[in-house]
Amino acid sequence: MTIKLCLDCDHEIDLGLTPTMGQRVKCTHCGVILEIISTDPTELDWVYDGPAVNVDWGKSWWRLSTPSTDR
């Protein structure tokens, strides 16, 4: 079992037996959503919600508001 401390309130967060990259966990104390960004060692980071999630900023961010014209 892996325990990490919440980045916001230092409350212990149980990551389960096998933390995986990209896994999201919620602090039961303050409710913040954190994401596992590394598993060796296990590191948490804040999840940045919004329309830009999972966007490749290098080449396609401007397509967000463009209707898909793919055939």
Binding site for Zn ion (CB under 5 A): 6, 8-9, 11, 27, 29-30
Q: What are phi and psi of 48, to 5 degrees?
A: -100, 100
In the complex with Zn ion, the residue whose CB is nearer, 30 or 52, is 30
Query: Longest Cα pair distance anywhere in the chain, in angstroms?
Result: 49
In the complex with Zn ion, the residue whose CB is nearer, 16 or 31, is 31
42-46 vs 33-39, strand pairing mode: antiparallel
- 40, with CB counted inside 10 A (0-12, 13-18, 19+), is exposed
In the complex with Zn ion, the residue whose CB is nearer, 27 or 44, is 27
What is the nearest approach in angstroms of Zn ion to the Cβ of residue 34? 8
What is the nearest approach in angstroms of Zn ion to the Cβ of residue 31? 7
